[in-house]
Structure 1
Amino acid sequence: MTAKFFDRLSNDLTQLLEDTTDYNVSIEIGEAPNNQNFKVHSYILQSRCPYFKNKLNETPFNDDHIKVLTIPNTNISIKLFNVIIKYIYGGIISLEKLENSTIFDLVIASNELELDELVEYLQTYLVNNGASWLRLKFAQIYRTSYQVKNLEIIRDFYNDIIAKHPNTIFESENFHSLPENALICILKQDDLQLEVLTIPNTNISIKLFNVIIKYIYGGIISLEKLENSTIFDLVIASNELELDELVEYLQTYLVNNGASWLRLKFAQIYRTSYQVKNLEIIRDFYNDIIAKHPNTIFESENFHSLPENALICILKQDDLQLEETPYIENNPYEFKLLVRGSRDGFDVKTIYNICDKVANTVIVLKVEGTGEILGGYNPLKWDNNKNQHMIAQDSFIFSLKTANLKNSILSRAVINFDWAIYNCPRDSNLFFDSALRLIGNLKTEKRCYCRDSLVYTKPIRSDEFISKCSIISEEEFFSVEEYEVFKILPRNNLK
């Protein structure tokens, strides 16, 4: 017979949390001056929490033989961490006095710290004890369940409601804010009973229709995070749905903000402007360029594909001059150098200091020893005063073809956009999720690494340098021989 004395064990370990004797880890939670340091023990953290096991392996002892950790996710408050650390030490958790919103924040925080057992328990508790609150917060929580991994219990709870009462969901005022993969999951349910309205133009994707529905219901539209190609697809979709005001607005936006892209796509878009009605604004934009710079059009490799009415319109222009005209033959962008390691310094904090509030930057670096050329693009502004994850749908990372790499690799952010960029000047961390992590002094510390990522699904280093688990081996860390940061600007030679 085996006797188990778990209650006493739990109590003794919890008492150890309150006794800081022989502690060797200090965890800082919160922003100064309201931050709090938790003095804890590495052997308990490593045995109970995969996140801290990985973090402690990466962190050296300071002169006082203490490992000092900071939690990058600033959403983990002191209140939440107090609950979590008691669970880690004693395996106990009390939720009776916590609001449902706080419990859900605990789910997210526990998931960030890879406490799978606690994540499962908290979800089950919410479903069993907070069902009314979950229904009230449908759009917000359901959307999060598709953006954050391991929330299957909450997601299944909502899917069951949707199958039984679909109209309560589709008639929700926040329905249009759901991500595309959530909408697809809803519509694929076998037992979903709905009156179906089909749209004949199958080129109108869920992503496009999401934007259009927001415009129809709320009269609002946000284009900052959309690529120019997506905005043009929106023009065509809106025109199909006879939304003339939106069609006009989108064309004007493209002309004012995507002129370089329109020039690059001349033959394709100009041809479409003659095949689809109501695209006069884009057509006039091209006709103005043709009048001022005709050779750029006639020398285009796709010039022959233009429809007859477009060619006639070009040749009839009174002010058409067919002399040689200067033109940017290849690259519609220019690169402004902001930072160079050998000139400005190799600490990650240097990048934040110089690039503070600067958007559309690309980082290019050469790996010490291997000669690999790696980098990443951030469309958003770096912030020297905040430590936060940034939602960046247009970000990407890359590696360029070298002697050690047969082909160049481009890896775009495809999911979990909330984690695409990690802006953390406090810890000298600059992350493109886990796919490319730049840490500390890039030249002297050898703490940078690449790991499997849920955001950027294509790795940019070869398999022997990519970590497949939470522990990074010595061979997978790298330092940087040189790096540069550029601001990307559209060329404005053609006006």
Structure 2
Amino acid sequence: MRKEFYTTLSQDFSQLLEDSDDYNVNIKVGENVNTRNFLAHSAILRARSPYFKRALSDRWTVKKDGIISFTKSNISPSVFSLILKYIYSGILDLTEIPGTDCLNLLVASDELLLGELIEHIQDHFIERDTTWTMQNFSMVLRTATQIPSCKKLQDYCFESICNDPEPFFTSDDFLSLDMDILLDLIKCDNLEIKEADIWEFLIKWAINHTQGIREMKPTDVKKFSENNFRDLKKTVEPFIPYVRFYDISLKEFYYKVRPYQQVIPEPLLEDLMSVLMADTEPKLKNLPARAGNLIKGSNIITGKHACIISNWIDKKDALSTSEKHQLQFNLLYRGTSDGFNAASFHEKVDNRGKALVVIKLKDSEKIIGGFNASGWYGSRNTIMYGRTRRLNDYGSWLSNSDHFIFSFANRNDYKTRKIGRSDDAYGVYDTSNKMLQFGCGDLMLDNGQYGTCKKNNYDHNILDTENFVAEELEVFEVISPMIV
């Protein structure tokens, strides 16, 4: 019979740290008045830390009277005490540790190559001490981006910014942000913010980082000299390829971009003017719209959800980022303003091609919906694919393997999701007498706000209940953007 006595082992080694009579390492930690000597055992340090395995080797150390003297001035005594406890006992409780010490502990763990500890501290910031993390977000972000092994915390910080950028971009710390961090943010496809606003924040940051105009404001642009614009252009230059200028409206361009047109390369400026004023197609490389710009006017889902749905439509992995030219969704119909009835529904959505439906459930944060790959036509006689099609008195089934239905937990959660796909002839029932029907009741709204979700013709159900009440309903036209 096998039994593991880890608890006893941890206790015994902890005692060895406390009663270090046979120590052979003396480590002086800290600097100035904040210093402390720690007594330890080289064998244990080397076994637990790759850093100490090298640093305490015979090649790098000098012994005096059998004792190795070692100095770590860049780690505070309070942090090093936590590290030694972890090394000797395998135990670390961060519950009562101040957030700043936890952050310093993360930096020290990276230096000492304590990978297990790095993972634990990242999880602590993300899952257990989120309040402190949000209150000290800029400090956490700077620290995480300086440590390559902190990918999890980096992703968490960037995801938090992308989901709600305005508090970060308007914070006191934004203007002092490192260029590399801001550049990585500007590159993000998932920023939930208008492109004109990104440009406006970028200009504010760039002015603050350009010698000669640091004390000036964006509204002082008319006072800028030719030399000021030349220097500002150098500051902005690394960001230009990642700004989606083609997603900026003519009005926004006039008020927010035009005053700084001297910092934009001439070929790009000419092409932008042509697109905005003559409605031509872009001639230069056109980056995809950011997630926040993929879904136009939705009060139910965010750009992140739109990215996932776009990938589902293209039959890609839900969280795929490899596809650069994602679909866009333009609002056609909203139940609360256009009327929760079949007549209003079909007046707005018929003959508009492929369509996306999203529904916010009443008294719930749940979001459900469906993709109609054929589009609604509804009327008795209609033009479909260039030909007049006759619908019978009871409507018609639209068979298409690209139809699907889906659900999300809420507007702020894109990871908790379900999808069901159609694999038979009963994909979408098209009739002017109903608002929408996917399958034989898999997702149906008859003529009002009461609906059903009963698994019949789709491979997965999207709700745990068979009946629902819609609080809001939105339908979007699905558009494939021009690939340039």
Shorter-chain TM-score bucket reads 0.3 to 0.5
More strand as a share of residues: 2
With normalisation by structure 2, the TM-score equals 0.42
Structure of higher CA gyration radius? 2
